[in-house]
Amino acid sequence: TIQKFMPGEDEDSFPVLSQRSNIVVVADEAHRTQYGFSAALKIPHPNPSPEGGGALLAAEASARYQVGYAQHLRDALPNATFVAFTGTPVSSEDRDTRAVFGDYIHVYDMQQAKEDGATVAIYYESRLAKLSLKDSELAHIDEEVDELAEDEEEDQQSRLKSRWAALEKVVGAEPRIKSVAADLVAHFEERNQAQSGKAMVVAMSREICVHLYNEIIRLRPEWHDEDPEKGAVKIVMTGSASDKALLRPHIYPNQVKKRLEKRFKDPKDPLQLVIVRDMWLTGFDAPCVHTLYVDKPMKGHNLMQAIARVNRVFKDKQGGLVVDYIGIANELKAALKEYTASKGRGRPTVDAHEAYAVLEEKLDVLRSLLHGFDYSDFLTGGHKLLAGAANHVLGLEDGKKRFADNALAMSKAFTLCCTLDEAKAVREEVAFLQAIKVLLTKREISAKKKTDEERELAIRQIIGNAVVSGDVVDVFAAVGLDKPNIGLLDDEFLAEVRNLPEKNLAVELLERLLEGEIKSKFASNLAQEKKFSELLDSVIKRYQNRSIETAQVIEELIEMAKKFAAASKRGDQLGLNDDELAFYDALANNEASVRELGDETLAKIAHELTESLRQNVTVDWSNRDSVRAKLRLLVKRILRKYKYPPDQQEEAAQLVLAQAETLCEAWM
């Protein structure tokens, strides 16, 4: 396997095995592991300072640039001929099978296979289950969902604030799960009356797989059996003994999975329905499968691989059916067009030399942006240069965006021409420049390790651009600071930031620190989140417009950090818990109420509102006008009781109800 082409621990590249030119390397499933030409800057782990106090010393080890297996394979056999087989050649803007292997030798596409009787037709049926997301949010999700690694487990990075998390949350909502399960069971039974066969269900996460399974067996208890050798429905997914209790009953050792695979492929076996997240979607053939239920965003070659599970010829099977519960119609049309148009040639062959011309152009732009900053030592000391390089870019007008945009274009161009010798010559420089981009744009700066609950909500990272830093670039470590305990924002840490030599980067650090904390700490307090977000935005805009100096903006941000810390302690001073404090802030949003009623009365109102709303909200209250009207009257009645300013009551009621929407999920 290609994993055998891994250099030793002290080697940067794989040694040459043969210079012969009569060697032919054949790569099967070439859409998966043949794009590892890009270099990644590996950041050495810093050593603790002997003086303590949280400072970090720069590591003595030299920077290392690592490449992927595809490059190691070509290093080992530099003159070999490479031939690839794939049913779904990748042709995205940053990964291209033909850019790596050359143009097609022969194409046998889906249309021709169907005409020859090698496969059956695939039909599509839309049975969309309603999602409680705005169209604009779905559009953003569609832009971000691309290559999902087939057999990877969830990574350890929290994505609680990501758009994907928002979609997963509504897709996995209990009412929707019940709706999908009921429809799926009825649909599958009806389909099997017309044509006997089996089905696969593709769900968005392991948790959703289990919830869907539980609802299906609630409807059809006779389908369930704890014995892997029995039962009509099973979940097939990866996992370990350390997974939470919800998942553990469905995590099987490999030998049991192989047995389930044999059962599912056997048309006479009672196992008829299998629920998966990623497994069995590539390289798995079960001709008796006639239906694929899709409840997960998919596109491109991943979608084509998945739907191919139902196009195998089997007895009197007239065709395979793809049932869409989430809205993949446009992606399916695009993928079918890509892999059937012009005998599979969805677009002209990529010219690697044209891509190299773009690479040269973008390299020139990035080098000019770094003019005046000496990074000639990037090959051995790249990790030590990152902070200074980022600081230099931040000192330019609109430097961050200009650098990030050009670095992204550079990375994509490099991926399409990475097999050229001239591109290999700049591979490490590309990796260093990309590491600067990561440092400039990285937003995840939370110092706390993710809790088990957060990890349970984590999903695989959506694969982005081909050239990325091998290690996640730690903004704080890059400038020699310990990550702060953000909840404390102590004076010692703020003093360290104030004294950083890279002033522009200090501003960036403080901005990210405060922005992340505003969203985290005040996620359930609308008034405070709005207040601090606007304050931060105002300071940063003045800085970007050059109306205040770097030193001044650092002082303003440090002062804001102190105000932020003080705001976090107000609940104790007022005798309010977090929910009550959120309603207090909604009520105190106008100065007149504070002036006329005072803190004590507002605190009483907040306490009563919290108790009353807790007792009266229902799961779907925000979507039912009659319930909203009832709660609005309840809020106004309490406001009148305490003589809240009459001319401010309508606005206050709106803020209170908006705040209740934010909190009600935790109340259910």
Give yes or no for residue 187 having a pLDDT over 50. Answer: yes
The type of residue at 26 is V
Three-state DSSP class for residue 58: coil
Considering only the C-alpha atoms of the chain, give the largest distance between any 2 of them, rounded to a whole number of Å: 91
The type of residue at 529 is E
Task: Mean pLDDT check: name the lowest of 90-104, 418-432, 591-605.
Answer: 90-104
Question: What is the Cα–Cα distance from 358 to 420, expressed in whole angstroms?
Answer: 14
Residue with the larger pLDDT of the pair 524 and 33: 524
The first and second tokens of residue 560, run together, are 């804001």
Residue with the larger pLDDT of the pair 160 and 540: 540
Prediction pTM value: 0.47
Give yes or no for residue 664 having a pLDDT over 50. Answer: yes
Band (pLDDT 50/70/90 cuts) for residue 375 is: confident
Q: What is the pLDDT of residue 218?
A: 97
Q: What average pLDDT does this structure show over 262-286? A: 93
Q: What average pLDDT does this structure show over 282-311? A: 88
308-313: which pairs have CB atoms within 8 A and are 24 or more residues apart? 308/87, 309/200, 309/280, 309/281, 309/284, 309/285, 310/122, 310/200, 311/110, 311/114, 311/119, 311/120, 311/121, 311/122, 312/119, 312/120, 312/285, 312/286, 312/287, 313/117, 313/118, 313/119, 313/120, 313/287
Q: What average pLDDT does this structure show over 256-271? A: 95
Q: How far is CA 565 from CA 118, 330, 491, 507, in A?
A: 67, 48, 11, 18
Question: What is the Cα–Cα distance from 225 to 217, expressed in whole angstroms?
Answer: 10
Q: What is the pLDDT of residue 521?
A: 66
Q: What is the pLDDT of residue 501?
A: 67
Question: What is the Cα–Cα distance from 313 to 115, expressed in whole angstroms?
Answer: 12
CA 70 from chain centre, in angstroms, equals 25
Q: What average pLDDT does this structure show over 598-611? A: 86
Which class is 110-340 in CATH? Answer: alpha beta
Band (pLDDT 50/70/90 cuts) for residue 286 is: very high
Range with the largest mean pLDDT of 147-156, 297-306, 456-465, 563-572: 297-306
Residue with the larger pLDDT of the pair 568 and 616: 616
Residue with the larger pLDDT of the pair 668 and 253: 253
Question: What is the Cα–Cα distance from 130 to 308, expressed in whole angstroms?
Answer: 26
Give yes or no for residue 113 having a pLDDT over 80. Answer: no
Cβ count within 10 A of residue 490: 14
- Dihedrals phi, psi of 222, to nearest 5 degrees: -70, -15
Band (pLDDT 50/70/90 cuts) for residue 485 is: very low
Question: What is the Cα–Cα distance from 573 to 350, expressed in whole angstroms?
Answer: 65
Q: What is the pLDDT of residue 227?
A: 94
CA pseudo-torsion sign 553, 557, 559, 563? positive
Cβ count within 10 A of residue 467: 27
Residue-by-residue DSSP string for 88-126: S--BSSS-BHHHHH-S-S----HHHHHHHTSB-EEEEEE
Residue-by-residue DSSP string for 111-175: HHHHHHTSB-EEEEEE-PPP--S-HHHHHHHHHH-----TTPPP-SS--TTSHHHHHHHHHT-HH
Which residues, 6+ apart, have CB-to-CB distance to 256 below 8 Å? 228
Q: How do strand 289-295 and strand 198-203 relate by DSSP bridges? A: parallel
Band (pLDDT 50/70/90 cuts) for residue 158 is: very low
Question: What is the Cα–Cα distance from 517 to 447, expressed in whole angstroms?
Answer: 11
Give yes or no for residue 552 having a pLDDT over 70. Answer: yes
Q: What average pLDDT does this structure show over 642-656? A: 84
Task: Mean pLDDT check: name the lowest of 193-207, 292-306, 384-398, 497-511.
Answer: 497-511
Q: What is the pLDDT of residue 481?
A: 46
Mean pLDDT score across all residues of the chain: 74
Q: Which of 74, 87, 45 is nearest to 282 (CA)?
A: 87
Question: What is the Cα–Cα distance from 310 to 70, expressed in whole angstroms?
Answer: 31
Residue with the larger pLDDT of the pair 185 and 396: 185
Band (pLDDT 50/70/90 cuts) for residue 192 is: confident
Band (pLDDT 50/70/90 cuts) for residue 646 is: confident
Q: What is the pLDDT of residue 95?
A: 57
Q: What is the pLDDT of residues 60-71, one digit of tens each?
A: 445 566 666 778
Q: What is the pLDDT of residue 38?
A: 58
Q: What is the pLDDT of residue 198?
A: 96
Q: 103 and 47 in contact (C-beta within 8 Å)?
A: no
Q: What is the pLDDT of residues 323-340, one digit of tens each?
A: 888 888 778 777 777 666
Q: Which of 67, 60, 72 is nearest to 380 (CA)?
A: 60
Question: What is the Cα–Cα distance from 34 to 481, expressed in whole angstroms?
Answer: 38
Q: What average pLDDT does this structure show over 145-171? A: 47
Phi-psi region of 433 (alpha: psi -120 to 50; beta: other; left: phi over 0): alpha
The type of residue at 184 is L
Q: What is the CA radius of gyration of the chain?
A: 29
Q: What average pLDDT does this structure show over 430-459? A: 54
State the alpha helices, DSSP H only, in 425-478. Answer: 427-441, 452-456, 475-478
The first and second tokens of residue 126, run together, are 């839309």
Band (pLDDT 50/70/90 cuts) for residue 462 is: very low
Q: What is the pLDDT of residue 453?
A: 32
Band (pLDDT 50/70/90 cuts) for residue 459 is: very low
Question: What is the Cα–Cα distance from 413 to 357, expressed in whole angstroms?
Answer: 9
What share of the chain has pLDDT > 70, as a percent? 65
